[in-house]
C-alpha cells in the first residue's frame, strides 16, 4: 500500500511534505480485517451475521476504534479461514510501513 503524504503549500508556494501519523495497532488490524472482507466481496452485514457480532462492532473494529479481545479476533480469523497470527503479522507490517 503506498504511503500518502499531506502537502501544505505556504504563501510563497513552497511545498511542505508531511508523512501521515503512524497507525495504532487497532487501526492496522482494522485495515487488515477490512481488506480480508473486501477480498471476499462481502459487506459488513454478511460478516456480522456470520460471526454473530453486531454491525456496529464490525464497523468499529474495521475502523480501529475498538480494541479487540483475543476471542473476537480469533472468531474473525476463523471466519476468514486465516490464522490469527497472520492477521497480527499483516497488521504489524502495515503499521511499520507508516512509521
Segment 13-27, tens digit of pLDDT: 554 444 556 899 999
Show Cβ contacts of residue 29 under 8 Å, excluding neighbours closer than 6 positions. 61, 64, 68, 73, 87, 88, 91
Q: Is domain 21-97 in CATH 3.40.50.970, yes or no?
A: no
pLDDT at residue number 87:
97
In this predicted model, what pLDDT tens digit does every residue of 24-75 receive, in sequence order? Answer: 999 999 999 999 999 999 999 999 999 999 999 999 999 999 889 999 999 9
Q: What is this structure's pTM?
A: 0.76
Report the SS3 class of residue 92.
Answer: helix
Q: What is the DSSP letter of 41?
A: T
Amino acid at each position: 500500500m503506498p504511503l500518502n503524504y499531506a502537502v501544505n503549500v505556504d504563501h510563497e508556494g513552497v511545498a511542505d511534505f508531511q508523512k501521515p501519523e503512524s497507525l495504532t495497532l487497532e487501526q492496522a488490524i482494522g485495515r487488515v480485517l477490512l481488506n480480508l472482507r473486501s477480498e471476499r466481496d462481502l459487506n459488513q452485514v454478511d460478516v456480522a451475521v456470520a460471526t454473530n457480532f453486531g454491525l456496529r462492532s464490525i464497523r468499529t473494529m474495521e475502523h480501529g476504534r475498538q480494541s479487540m479481545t483475543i476471542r473476537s479476533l480469533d472468531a474473525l480469523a476463523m471466519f476468514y479461514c486465516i490464522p490469527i497470527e497472520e492477521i497480527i503479522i499483516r497488521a504489524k507490517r502495515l503499521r511499520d510501513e507508516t512509521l
